[in-house]
Amino acid sequence: MTDTTILQKTPLHDAHVDFGGRMVDFSGWSLPISFAGITEEHRHTRNACSVFDVSHMGRLVLTGEDCESFLNRICTRNLMEAEVGRSYYSHICREDGGILDDVIVSRFEDRWGVVCNGANRQKIVGWLDQHREGTDVLLRDETTSTAMVAVQGPKTMELAAEITGQDLASMKRYRHVSYEFMGMKVTVYRCGYTGEDGVEVVIPAGIVKLLLPRLLGNPKKPHPIIKPAGLGARDTLRIEAAMPLYGHELSEDVDPLSAGQAWCVDLNKEFLGADAMRKKKAEGLLKQMTGLELDGRRIARQHQRVFVGANDVGEITSGTLSPTIGKSIAMAFVDVSCREEGTFVEVEISGKRVGARVVKMPFYTKPK
Amino acid sequence: MAQQGDAMTIPADRRYSETHEWFLVEGEVVTIGLTQHAADELTDITFVELPDEGAEFGVGDAIGEIESVKATSELFTAVAGTVVEVNTALADHPELVNDDAYDEGWLLRLKVDSAASLGSLMKSKEYGNFIGSQ
């Protein structure tokens, strides 16, 4: 490699290399894009169980008397009645409504946890620091002292109970539980970013090498069901599930309402960005996140333009050839007048117009 | 690690460009494909756009596009000629490029007046060093 950038390594790095992971630079971290192949890993996650390293994501811990009111002012989600043992998806916005990040906020007995995007960690730490002045809130960054793995797929809960010896199946979605494992504290969240059932597990970095073989086996004798998966499959899985990705559907240039995430915004409370969002809502949104299904096999890429006749009505934020549905699907930020289901639009790909139809999101929902 | 495996399996019967196409000369017909290294880097290939038979190209022209889950890249020819055949199997099975880049995953064939322009391209060993140094 002629690239001299020194990439950060997660506690799982050596295991990725041992399992034949194709390592890439992902916002400063060396992470696997794929192992057996993106499509194969995608299908395996939909049918069985995959392990994703998400240790690059920021793990922040907040303590102090004022955490609840502080986080409630920072987050779009109403956290005033947040319960211990539960996790909440939320956005953190600027005063003008621009999204700084999307996060999972969890309440514990003695603290709060915030999981943010890896690429936004410094920004969010800075934002929290700036706004906690004069409050009783302490902030600790546990990103590098811990590892985080997502275990996802329909066989996950059964296998997780087997491996951990814990009754995890009775835990509902967006709940978390902490327990002792090998004398260290492990926290299991029933969350994910694939559209499948599964868990995300935070463990001290020091026990990764002990715990990982229980999950994956070793390269010579891999686990028969649980397989490693990379960032490529994580992206195609989240697109099928129409889950937004920061830097694509979400950015500082868009507000949560336009991004189609109004469900995590409580305009009846006061928080940073609330006034700007109320104003936007009153004036009416101009563009909104929309699902498209394209003709043919070509993949629509971020920033490609969307047209209705001669009119440029918006742009693509993410697209893929869906392994599950077998069609080219995309998310796009388009004029609200063109969002009715079935509307015919065109996407300009490499100078050619490709026909597409507005469809409902998510593109994929897991079988009940 | 993967690169050593690639280098060992780079066929010696053809020439290689810095943009990762291979060129196999058989008489006045040149078969063009993408190298296994490039196919691996692209990850799962989902679509290949190829020209029509009869289309004419000059040295350095873009002859098509190859698209994967990850990215879209242009394909270039290092020899001038007329398209005599395209790999029609790729329309339904673009993954053939991933599975067998040097054989079943070939892209197209050009009829050429002269293959002299390919003389400046890399031989298999040189290409192996080239991808190893990247």
For A91-132, how does the pLDDT look when each residue is reduced to its tens digit (9 = 90+)?
A: 999 999 999 999 999 999 999 999 999 999 999 999 999 999
pLDDT score recorded for residue A3: 54
pLDDT score recorded for residue B6: 46
Nearest chain B alpha carbon to A39: B44
Quote the domain boundaries for residue B94: 2-127
Minimum distance, in Å, between the CA of residue B39 and any CA atom of chain A: 12
- Could you tell me if residue B133 is inside a domain? no
* Cβ contacts of B69 on chain A, cutoff 8 Å: 38-39, 232, 236, 299, 320-321
- Could you tell me if residue B32 is inside a domain? yes
Minimum distance, in Å, between the CA of residue A360 and any CA atom of chain B: 22
pLDDT score recorded for residue A181: 81
User: Cβ B43–A38 below 8 Å, yes or no?
Assistant: yes
Domain count for chain B? 1
Q: Is it the case that residue A227 has pLDDT exceeding 70?
A: yes
Q: Is it the case that residue B3 has pLDDT exceeding 70?
A: no
Whole-number mean pLDDT of chain A?
95
Nearest chain B alpha carbon to A328: B46
H or E stretch covering A194: none
Tokens for A238?
């989240």
**Pairing label, strands A29-34, A8-9:** parallel
pLDDT score recorded for residue B8: 53
User: Cβ B46–A1 below 8 Å, yes or no?
Assistant: no
pLDDT score recorded for residue B2: 39
Q: Which residues contact A311 (CB under 8 A, 6 or more apart)?
A: none
Q: Report the pLDDT averaged over residues B6-24.
A: 88
- Note the helical H segments in chain A: 13-18, 38-47, 67-74, 121-132, 156-164, 208-216, 231-240, 274-283
| Distances in whole angstroms, Cα of residue B119 to Cα of each of A190, B101, B115, B131 | 60, 22, 8, 19
Minimum distance, in Å, between the CA of residue B47 and any CA atom of chain A: 6
- Could you tell me if residue B38 is inside a domain? yes
- Could you tell me if residue B76 is inside a domain? yes
- Could you tell me if residue B113 is inside a domain? yes
Dist CA B118 CA A92 (whole Å): 56
CATH of the domain at B66: 2.40.50.100
% of chain A residues with pLDDT over 70: 99
Q: Report the pLDDT averaged over residues A142-149.
A: 97
Mean pLDDT check: name the lowest of A69-83, A147-161, A179-193.
Answer: A179-193
Q: Is it the case that residue A2 has pLDDT exceeding 50?
A: no
Residue A332 · residue A316 · CB < 8 Å: yes
Q: Please give, one letter per residue, the 3-state secondary structure of A326-364.
A: CCEEEEEEEEHHHCCCCCEEEEEECCEEEEEEEECCCCC
* Cβ contacts of B40 on chain A, cutoff 8 Å: 22
* Cβ contacts of B134 on chain A, cutoff 8 Å: 1-2
Q: Is A175 left (phi over 0), alpha (psi -120 to 50) or beta?
A: beta
Whole-number mean pLDDT of chain B?
92
Residue B14 · residue B107 · CB < 8 Å: no
Amino acid making up residue B57: F
- In this complex, how many residue pairs, one in chain A and one in chain B, have their CB atoms less than 8 Å apart? 44
What domains, with CATH codes, occur in chain A? 8-57+144-239 (3.30.1360.120), 58-141 (3.30.70.1400), 286-361 (2.40.30.110)
- Could you tell me if residue B132 is inside a domain? no
Q: Report the pLDDT averaged over residues A178-190.
A: 90
Dist CA A74 CA A229 (whole Å): 33
For A296-343, how does the pLDDT look when each residue is reduced to its tens digit (9 = 90+)?
A: 999 999 999 999 999 999 999 999 999 999 999 999 999 999 999 999
Q: Is it the case that residue B120 has pLDDT exceeding 90?
A: yes
CA-closest candidate to residue B118, choices B15, B12, B19: B15
Minimum distance, in Å, between the CA of residue B22 and any CA atom of chain A: 23
ipTM for the assembly: 0.79
- Could you tell me if residue B134 is inside a domain? no
Q: How confident is the model at residue A169 (pLDDT cuts 50, 70, 90)?
A: confident
Q: Does B65 contact A at CB distance below 8 Å?
A: yes
* Cβ contacts of A36 on chain B, cutoff 8 Å: none
Dist CA B35 CA B38 (whole Å): 5
3-state DSSP assignment of residue B108: strand
Minimum distance, in Å, between the CA of residue A10 and any CA atom of chain B: 20
pLDDT score recorded for residue B37: 94
User: Cβ B69–A38 below 8 Å, yes or no?
Assistant: yes
Q: Does B130 contact A at CB distance below 8 Å?
A: no
Dist CA A173 CA A5 (whole Å): 39
Prior bond of A32 cis (ω within 30°): no
In this structure, the number of other CB atoms found within 10 A of the CB of residue B100 comes to: 14
Q: How confident is the model at residue B9 (pLDDT cuts 50, 70, 90)?
A: confident
Q: Is it the case that residue B5 has pLDDT exceeding 70?
A: no
> Vertex A103, ends A203 and A323: CA angle to 5°?
85
- Could you tell me if residue B37 is inside a domain? yes
